[in-house]
Every structure is written in structure tokens, then in C-alpha cells.
Amino acid sequence: MRDKSDRNAQGRIVAEVALVIYPDCQLSAIYGLTDLFRLAVTAAHVAGERDTPIIRITHWQDMGDGVACTYDSHPGNPHRAQYIIIPPSLIMPNDLPSMQGLAGWMTRNHEQGAILCSVCAGAFVLAETGLLEGREVTTHWAFADSLRARFPKVKVDADRIIADDGDIITAGGILAWTDLGLTLVQRLLGASAMLQTARFLLIDPPRQAQRPYSSFIPKLDHGDAAIRAVQHWLPAHVAAEWSVKMLADRAGMEERTFLRRFKAATGLRPTEYVQQIRIARAREALELTRRPVEQIAWEIGYGDPSAFRKLFIRITGLPPAEYRRRFGVARHAPADAPVQI
């Protein structure tokens, strides 16, 4: 990997990732994620991207009179955080002070479309927003009972490394910031940049079965909260049966109104949007596993492998088998074996 700063790469900023510094947080996660995202941009540049996507990295801290930016990799542009990450804590979660200032700041950004993320005990800070109520989240196994006791309406599953609920992503384990970081790299820059970053850092790809879509980057900053809620629901239920009426009911609209507003907000019809999400998930499975194409098709909601292949070719330009031959990294591993870099 060439030592080329993302400041010098020619490209466009595709997302601002905001890292939150709070009392006694794990600073190695803050600076490790900062470096990971910069290396990922370099990986995308080395891969030959003509219009290299840039990840803007910012650090934020409650200064007492408000939450302020203390570091900005690309200063000069108005802030619009697409992802906010709460790092682990170096003290026991029960000793963490209340952080209502940060909670209010995160809530306001979430209302503007930001996806909120936490690592390990960072889930306790994130839970103060109230946005985790009724959600499935993860944290370090040793803190799971404390999280349940302190926030009884939160559904804690400490067996998962990554719990992706669309607009809320939580990671378990004090070093799971690498899993979360690579998960976001794959979402923003694609699987190739994620794998190149993992190789360079000598770490495994994200240790989770359900990774987010990679190359398809949905438009979330359109300001239509009802449509955005549907967008957040869809990736977490990629194989579910759906209809326009069901999605319209979730948004609290008549079907005709929903179709008009969904297209205006996302640029796609609901059918096209769901296809993009499903094919992105299929691409990931083809790249990182040896599961049969028919099984992958079924897992993302297509009972007819022939129809799946036609759609895959239409969206990617390649048949699934050819796509795997070109981009797969698990060609010689057992079908369900984790990928080793």
C-alpha cells in the first residue's frame, strides 16, 4: 500500500464519520479508527478508483458549553455527520457519569439522518438517547447484565459481534472497533477497499454473519423522516417478504403518497431500492464465502435462482459465478469457513 495521504487523493467526500471523545473513553479506539479510515481511503485510491471517495473524519467532545469539533481531517466544509461512533470506556460502565449533553447532540444528529454506532461500553452512552429502547443491541458480554438492568427496554444480545439495526449499529468487545470500522469501510468504499485495509492492518474482516450492503450507498439526508425510517428498516430485513402497502403502512401513508415521496427522497422506486440492497448483500456473500449461488439467492429473498441470476447480471454486469471468480477471496476454503487474510 502506497503511503499517500487522503488529503492528496482526488475525489469526493462521501461521508463524515464523527468520533466522540468522552471522559475515560478508549482513546486508542478514537485514533485507531481515525487511522483505519484514512488507510481505507488510500486502499481505494491504490485500487485505481478514478474518483476516489473520501471519508471525512471528525472528533467531537462536550466542552461544557456545548459539543464542539476538536479535529477535522477536511476542514472548511459545513458539518453533516452521517455516522457517529461512541468508543469503548476504560472504566466500568456503572461508573460512567451521565452525559445528557452528548445524548442531546446525538439525538439531534440522528433526526437529521445520522447513523449512531457504539463499541463495547459505548452502548451505555448511546442508550442515554433513549433510541435503543426496543432495539436489539450488543455490548461486551461482561457488561450485558448491567446494560439490561440500567436500560430494561433495550434488547441485549451479547453473543453478537455486530448488531446492525439500520440506523443504530452496536459492536461488542473492547477491540470490536476494528470490526465496526471495517463494516463502515465496506459500506462506504466497497468490499475490495475493506479487504485491502484488513490485509494491511493484519486483522480479519468483520466477524459477523450479517454485514451491511457494500457498494450501494443510500441517500439518507433528504429530510423525509417517515421515508428514512423505512430505509433503516429494509437492510435489517433483507429477506423478508414485502409489499408497497406494507411499507406504506410502516410510513403511515397511503400507497400513492408513499410511492411519490419514496422516489422523491431516494431517487428509486421501492422495488429498485430493495433489489439494490439484496444484490449488494449477494455480492458480499460471493466475495467472502463459498456458499452455493442458489443458497445465497434464497438467503436474500429470491426463491427462484434463475430470476436472481438475471437480476444480478443486470445490476453488476456479470453472472454470479464469474463475479465470484474475479472478486472472491474464499475460493479454497470450506463453504462456511470464515475468511482468513
Which of these CATH numbers, 1.10.10.60, 1.10.3720.10, 3.40.50.720, 3.40.190.10, describes 225-327?
A: 1.10.10.60
Q: Taking residues 11-38, what's their average pLDDT?
A: 93
Contact (Cβ atoms closer than 8 angstroms) between residue 302 and residue 278: yes
Residue 316 CA: distances (Å) to CA of 277, 310, 311: 13, 10, 9
Report domain 11-201's class: alpha beta
Contact (Cβ atoms closer than 8 angstroms) between residue 189 and residue 156: no
- Read off the pLDDT of residues 139-152 as tens digits, 9 standing for 90 and up: 998 899 899 999 99
pLDDT at 325: 85
CA 217 to chain centre: 10
Q: Which percentage of the chain shows pLDDT scores above 90?
A: 56
Greatest CA separation for the chain: 59
Q: Domain map of the chain by residue range?
A: 11-201, 225-327
Given a cut of 70, whether residue 292 has pLDDT beyond it is yes
- Read off the pLDDT of residues 303-335 as tens digits, 9 standing for 90 and up: 899 999 999 988 888 899 988 887 787 544 445
Given a cut of 70, whether residue 158 has pLDDT beyond it is yes
**Helix-helix angle 27-46:177-189, to 10 degrees:** 30
Cell numbers found for residue 263:
422516489
